[in-house]
Amino acid sequence: MQPILSIEDQSIFGHEVLAREETDKGFALPDIFLRELSGKSEEFLRIETEVLSKAFLKLKSTESGHLFINMSPDELLRQLEDSKGDDLPLAKLTKDVGISNNRIFIEVTEDATLRDPEAIGTAVEYFRELGFRIAMDDVGSESSNLERIAIIQPEIIKVDLLLLKKSIHDRNFQSVLEYLSQIAIGIGSDLLFEGIENSEELRRAVDCGARYLQGYLLGMPSPDFASPKLEADKLKTQLDDFHEFKRNRILEEIRFEDEIRNLISRNEPTLKEIGDLTHIDAHSLFQLSPFIQRVYATDWEGTQITPYYERSGENGFTQNTKSLYKNWSYMPFFYKHVKKSFHNPRTWNASEPYFDKNLRKNILVLSKVTQNHISLFIDIQLPG
């Protein structure tokens, strides 16, 4: 069993049940579990039941905590179709051992299945009505799909370990991870990140909204439950480091933001009409700092009224008119800018940083509304 820790109080929230046999090379997945991927023989079911019984008996001896067990969508449906009520093999096992169903999280695996998603949802809801709690395993793996998340509505979304690891080095995977975090918030699920092996992965997980953590960094699999104090101390040490790291990053961002804001405030950009176009004195702006990447303006309704001015080299810039007269009010940033301009009309307001796919850089946007209700936007590259 491997511990799952809660960030909220640095305690052990539960353990995942792992079927392992002892070999001369250590613990390994039983061969029968590797061979029988599509169906389950009587021998397979016997071993599985024996493993769960031992785990449930250990859980019964504790006053709190949960167990996480894996079940494929096909297995959920098989149990429902072959049984009724308390005759469900899993429900019968918890009843025989004498533990409450609500201490068991069923991790619905992301295995591909030909069964109707609605049928899977019906099976999940039946298990939920019996008191079992529902998690989704390996979300972000190859078989993942958003429809299954919406139908199952899991209490916990368990993020695929490969998605976490790839997000460390690939910005596209980081974007997917951030999107998954927003999905979890939207449907009221908590995120559990597994496979945490180092501090960098832990920081990324916590940064992306993890409530629960699992991995070798915090606790190795063991035949017994983990020591609550030992594992909690490990997590607290890691979280202390994370908080120190995060505070330092925020202070660096504030110092940088204030530096750029002060430069621009002392050299306010000017607008002038030339022919049918409104222009910004972009040359003066780009000379202020090499971190200024792009400048443009919209009217009060969000329609772009100037060209894009984009940096090209140390002091040069290009002028792009392709986006002229396009309306950007549908973008989330626009009315966030309007709100901030109402709140702080005399200063340059800063957006939350985001990754710009065209510039391939992390960008901070400074914005301000002029007296004639023109919105100025200056895209700033974040250092590092």
- Kindly state whether residues 135 and 264 are assigned to the same domain: no
Q: Which domain covers residue 273, as residue numbers?
A: 259-381
Instruction: Assess whether 135 and 69 both reside in one domain.
Output: yes
Q: What is the domain-level CATH number for residue 15?
A: 3.20.20.450
> 144 and 9: one domain?
yes
Q: Is the pLDDT of residue 257 over 90?
A: yes
Q: Is residue 209 part of a domain?
A: yes
Answer yes or no: pTM beyond 0.85.
no
pLDDT confidence tier of residue 31, bands split at 50, 70 and 90: low
pLDDT at 159: 92
Q: What is the mean pLDDT of the chain?
A: 87
Domain count, the chain: 2
* 218 within some domain: yes
Asked whether residue 45 is assigned to any structural domain, the reply reads: yes
Q: What is the pLDDT of residues 313-357, one digit of tens each?
A: 877 899 999 889 999 999 888 888 989 888 888 899 998 888 888
10 and 132 belong to one structural domain: yes
Query: Are 60 and 199 members of one domain?
Result: yes
Which range among 172-186, 226-240, 245-259 has the greatest average pLDDT?
245-259
- pLDDT for 222 beyond 70: yes
- Residue 250 in any domain: the answer is no
CB 176 within 8 A of CB 163: yes
Assigned domain for 43 exists: yes
190-193 and 156-159 strand pairing = parallel
Instruction: Say how many residues make up the chain.
Output: 384
CA dihedral over 217, 221, 231, 70, signed as positive or negative: positive
Q: For 287-312, what is each residue's pLDDT tens digit?
A: 999 999 999 999 989 999 999 999 98
Cβ-count burial of 59 within 10 angstroms (0-12 exposed, 13-18 middle, 19+ buried)? buried
Same domain, 263 and 201: no
| Domain of residue 325, CATH code | 3.30.450.20
